[in-house]
Amino acid sequence: MKTHTRAVVIGGGVVGVSVLYHLAKLGWSDVVLVERSELTSGSTWHAAGGMHTINGDTNMSYLQSYTVKIYEELERESGQSCGIHRVGCLYVAANEQCNDYFKMERARARHLGLDLEFVSMEEVKKINPLIETKHFISALYDPNDGHVDPSSVTNAYAKAARNKGAEIYRNTPVVELKPTASGGWLVVTPQGTIETDVVINAAGLWGREVGAQVGINLPIMPMEHMYVVTNDIPEVAALAREIPMTIDFDGESYMRQEGKGLLIGTYEKDARHWSVDGTPLQFGHELLENDLDRITDAMAVAMERYPCLVEGGIKRIINGPMIFAPDGNPIIGPVRGLKNYFVATGVMAGFSQAGGVGLAVAQWVIDGEPGMDVFAMDVARFGDHVNKSYVLEKTMENYRRRFTITCPNEELPGARPLKASPVYDKLKAEGAVFGATNGWEYPLWFAPKGVEPVEKPSFRRSNAFPHVAAECKAVREQVGLFETSSYAKFDVAGKGAEAFLNGLMTNKLPSKDGRAVLCPMLTPKGRVLGDLTVTRLTGERYLLIGSPTATEYYMRWFQAHLPGDGSVAVRDVTAEWMGFSLTGPKSREVLSQLTTEDISHTGFPFLSARQMTIGLVKALVIRVSFTGELGFEIYCEPKSQRHILERLLVAGAAHGLKLCGVRALNSLRLEKGYGSWGREFSVDYNAAEAGIDKLVKLEKGEFIGRAAAAAALKAGGKRKLAIMTVDVSDTDPIGNEPVLQNGKVIGRLTSAGYGHTIGTAVALSYLPVDIVNAGGKVEIEVLGEMRPARILAEAPYDPSGARMRA
């Protein structure tokens, strides 16, 4: 056994071997995998082996398509069969909502170059003669899907990794992990200790236990999962060729052929967690006790869908534990506060996802960044509110909803309300319809008196539309008030604060107290990692404000780059500063009634920040806005927020002040062409493409990503952020739809929505530079319909920014 290596992967399930393979493939051949028992000893051995590319998140879909396409290559490299049955998958819809979901997925697949196609019921019957088509209204077919043999795949990854120099030690449990002074790890096993630069926790069902060895609580929980294999069925035996897998969303089941019988699985509503307090160390190749009663209803529906099932009789029931994260996505990446420690766990669909997970994690380990935006899987998408109780509630919700269609405008109720500002009840009484981000409740829109504050889930324009329109109108013509407490806020303080921030931010920091600037951050490869408003409170104290979703993500980045000399401290102060955004042409008049400060344009210019008394309490006011109108962000202590709200409502009444939500904010910022974190500002794009060159000050000295940004800016981007108007009828694009020109896909939307001021839909997308510069017409596929769109030379609303600077 080696005593020194570059990376140790803990766990020999399908995820661990994929990480190992990809490390070796990308050039790190001196790597090791340690497995407690035999390979596949966790969830992997009893999986049904189904593989699918379809996923609500586009980058996840991309990585899934990578995963399902890798098996042939693995077979070639390893000489080991993966037991590939590329029989395709039929996704069947029994209602219009599911049909809309298919249309959305079909369009997104077009951008990824996948072959997802709608097929008629006659074709369905031809490719799966066992199905009773009268229950369905549409079907999608993906020829790339199918199933593989779990053990064979695991062994193929292992062999291919070994061929590239990696080593695998079986029956070698990791019992302790000790950090070394040089930032590496000692991996302690009964067979000996290995010193390594990097550790990757891929311990699947034991991810929690291996995490506990370094003092972290990973947000994952095992769930029981059952599938049934039937006896031989004459209709199946008589088939000329293997039928495709079939997923029936309405019936909540998946089905595939298993020999001359069928295999049916379901994500039952009456679900069960397993081993809540920890996975037993001895657990291995055992199954759990069956509980057929919990899946009887779904099986009864399956018998209607596939009538020949009635003749089958059950040959075998598999009930095994599988690991789940609160949102059902994998949990990968470096862990905040631990040097050179990565996770690759929470993978509940290993045969669809392990390849992509392995690729992203290996790139992250080797390059310091994952190669694409994998935030949907990033361990840093969970904030400090994610404790065991939260994980229990959300994993139960997620498991039960595995085949339930979630609409783009739908907010799931699990574990809510969790974090709420002091004005939550007051806003609720005013008609607020809430969403949740990073655990915080925030208003999506406000239902006027007499209107029920409920938004109907839909892929199309929802009942919120006219009310959002009214909110936008108030902001453009009078004044709107947004509650913004959920925004991520960081206090950066100390003698070294300025130098620390200068090393991270691309823009020059404010040179005076009471000034704010917009500051992007880049990865070492010059990709857009973040965008923050940085306000200088004093020379040694800065307040940073950014997207709520990125709170933990930013904290991880800050912490990883703190100097070791204690000269600067970063604190997440999100819960200490509640917020409002007061914006619109009348906002100054409203605010001036509540303060004696000079807030005129000259007394308080754009990007100023000042502590002032609002009503009877202290607040920090910053002159910025995301709507394109004159605006003020107001931050105060939690105890003062109610007071400020009441005073603003009273002062605003005479000026038509309206409470507004994030749906309106999105429409308003789109009309201005403002990018948003996680959409336009993401590691998928560099500074040249994102058009943030004015905020990248190469002359200011060294900062992370500077050399790459200089090169990118010099070369110019191949793509450029384009703003378009889209002709729509009653359905708006929402983001991720493909953009086509002359029938060829040229990009995908990063964000889109209806522009209530300009009276048409507006969309943002990274498109080839020459196409953007030429302007002209493109098409956007919105729920199956090609919609004409026009590339604009500038934002359709107030392109000079005069209104905001008024």
Ligand X SMILES: Cc1cc2nc3c(=O)[nH]c(=O)nc-3n(C[C@H](O)[C@H](O)[C@H](O)COP(=O)(O)OP(=O)(O)OC[C@H]3O[C@@H](n4cnc5c(N)ncnc54)[C@H](O)[C@@H]3O)c2cc1C
Backbone angles phi, psi at 200, to 5 degrees: -125, 115
Nearer to ligand X, 168 or 474 (CB): 168
Residue 41 or 486 with smaller CB distance to ligand X: 41
Residue 664, CA distances (Å) to 482, 488, 704 in order: 9, 20, 35
DSSP state of 29: -
Nearest approach, Cβ of residue 556 and ligand X (Å): 22
Cis omega before residue 129 (within 30°)? no
Comparing CB distances to ligand X, the nearer of 279 and 608 is 279
Tell the smallest beta-carbon distance from residue 766 to ligand X (Å): 31
Q: Nearest approach, Cβ of 299 to ligand X (angstroms)?
A: 15
Give CA–CA dist 661/653, Å, rounded: 18
For ligand X, the closer of residues 227 and 685 by Cβ is: 227
Taking the complex as a whole, the smallest distance from the CB of residue 77 to ligand X amounts, in Å, to 20
Comparing CB distances to ligand X, the nearer of 48 and 594 is: 48
- Whose CA is closest to 428, among 438, 413, 441? 441
Strands (E), 438-527: 440-446, 480-483, 488-493, 515-522
∠ Cα 559 563 564 (to 5°): 100
Distance of alpha carbon 523 from alpha carbon 560, whole angstroms = 13
Could you list the residues that contact ligand X (CB under 6 A)? 10-16, 34-37, 41-44, 46-50, 173-174, 202-206, 210, 225, 227, 318, 320-322, 345, 347-352
Instruction: Give the residue with the Cβ less far from ligand X, 321 or 717.
Output: 321
Backbone Cα Rg of the chain? 27
Minimum CB distance to ligand X smaller for 15 or for 433: 15
Q: How far is the CB of 94 from ligand X (least distance, A)?
A: 22
Q: How far is the CB of 51 from ligand X (least distance, A)?
A: 6
Beta strands in 241-287 (DSSP E): 245-248, 253-258, 261-266
Report whether 223 contacts 274 (CB < 8 A): yes
Q: Is the dihedral of CA 783, 251, 376, 34 positive or negative?
A: negative
| Residue with Cβ nearer ligand X (202 or 380) | 202
Min dist. Cβ of residue 300 to ligand X (A): 20
Residue 90 class from Cβ within 10 Å (0-12 exposed, 13-18 middle, 19+ buried)? buried
Q: How far is the CB of 379 from ligand X (least distance, A)?
A: 14
- Report the residue number, 204 or 733, with the smaller CB distance to ligand X: 204
Q: CB under 8 Å to 532, separation ≥6 — which residues?
A: 505, 518, 519, 520, 521, 544, 545, 546, 554
Smallest separation (angstroms) from ligand X to the CB of 58: 19
Q: How far is the CB of 147 from ligand X (least distance, A)?
A: 7
Q: Which helix (H) or strand (E) holds 179?
A: strand 176-179
Q: Which is nearer to ligand X, 131 or 148 (CB)?
A: 148
Specify the 3-state DSSP secondary structure of 499.
Answer: helix
Q: Which is it for the CA torsion 736, 737, 741, 743, positive or negative?
A: positive
| DSSP conformation class of 48 | -
- 723 closest CA partner among 779, 764, 692, 778: 764
